């Protein structure tokens, strides 16, 4: 049985993952409006990742005998100054997510919920990847400044990103 404190924390995180998807949908829309299909593709994949994270958490709460309680989601920002501003915002957002995941880990350790410690470890590793990916793009955009050729190449590169079903979902968990 899932401790109610952990259940509440994961429920909050499920809602935050859905909010994350909402943010990335908004960013995708901005890029599509700007004619930057590769950037939009990167965000579309990010939406799928955030939705899959919510699904993994949803499955875990149910598997442990808890109940998922969904809440309202605030509207995201819809306007940004530039691709760099968007990716700086994305990086900051992922850093917030990392802090939230770490707090779930801390709680699970504190109450000796070994199953949740084991389970949340995947998200700890995932957040390292999420921050590194957004940070890498921030670095490239800072380097590129507003050089059209560089932005064109970054857009082209980001268009190659594909969604891979996360292992906890691929395994049926």
pLDDT at 1 (0 to 100)? 87
pLDDT tier at 172, thresholds 50, 70, 90: low
- Looking at residues 80-96, what average pLDDT do you find? 97
pLDDT at 56 (0 to 100)? 98
pLDDT tier at 173, thresholds 50, 70, 90: low
- Structure-token pair, residue 70: 């969904």
Instruction: Calculate Rg over the CA atoms of the chain.
Output: 17
The share of the chain scoring above pLDDT 90, in percent, equals 95
pTM: 0.94
Could you report the per-residue pLDDT of 39-72, keeping only the tens digit for each?
A: 999 999 999 999 999 999 999 999 999 999 999 9
Domain spans in the chain, listed from the N-terminal domain onward: 4-71+81-163
The three-state (H, E, C) secondary structure of the chain, written as one string: CCCHHHHHHHHHHHHHHHHHHHHHHHHHHHHHHCCCHHHHHHHHHHHHHHHHHHHHHHHHHHHCCCCCCCCCCCCCCCCCCCHHHHHHHHHHHHHHHHHHHHHHHHHHHHCCCHHHHHHHHHHHHHHHHHHHHHHHHHHHHHHHCCCHHHHHHHHHHHCCCCCCCCHHHHCCC
pLDDT at 123 (0 to 100)? 98
Could you report the per-residue pLDDT of 100-137, keeping only the tens digit for each?
A: 999 999 999 999 999 999 999 999 999 999 999 999 99
The share of the chain scoring above pLDDT 70, in percent, equals 99
Q: Is the dihedral of CA 39, 45, 50, 53 positive or negative?
A: negative
Query: Across the chain, what does the average pLDDT equal?
Result: 96
Q: Flag whether pLDDT at 16 surpasses 70.
A: yes
- Structure-token pair, residue 13: 């995180």
pLDDT at 170 (0 to 100)? 80
Q: Is the dihedral of CA 147, 148, 151, 152 positive or negative?
A: negative
- Give the distance, in angstroms, between the CA of residue 43 and the centroid of all CA atoms in the same chain: 10
Give the fold, CATH level 3, of 4-71+81-163. Ferritin (1.20.1260)
Nearest residue to 56 via CA among 131, 126, 161, 133:
126
- Structure-token pair, residue 141: 């955009």
């Amino acid at each position: 049985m899932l401790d109610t404190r952990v259940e509440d924390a994961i429920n909050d995180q499920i809602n935050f993952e859905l909010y994350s998807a909402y943010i990335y949908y908004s960013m995708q829309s901005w890029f599509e409006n700007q004619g930057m299909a590769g950037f939009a593709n990167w965000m579309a994949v990010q939406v799928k990742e955030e939705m899959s994270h919510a699904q993994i958490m949803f499955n875990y709460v149910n598997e442990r005998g808890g109940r998922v309680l969904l809440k309202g989601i605030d509207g995201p920002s819809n306007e940004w100054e530039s691709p760099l501003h968007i990716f700086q915002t994305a990086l900051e957002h992922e850093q917030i997510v990392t802090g939230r995941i770490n707090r779930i880990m801390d709680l699970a350790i504190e109450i000796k919920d070994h199953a949740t410690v084991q389970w949340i470890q995947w998200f700890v590793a995932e957040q390292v990847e999420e921050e590194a990916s957004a940070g890498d793009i921030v670095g490239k955009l800072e380097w590129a400044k507003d050089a059209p050729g560089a932005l064109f190449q970054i857009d082209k590169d980001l268009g190659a990103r594909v969604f891979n079903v996360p292992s906890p979902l691929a395994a049926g968990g």
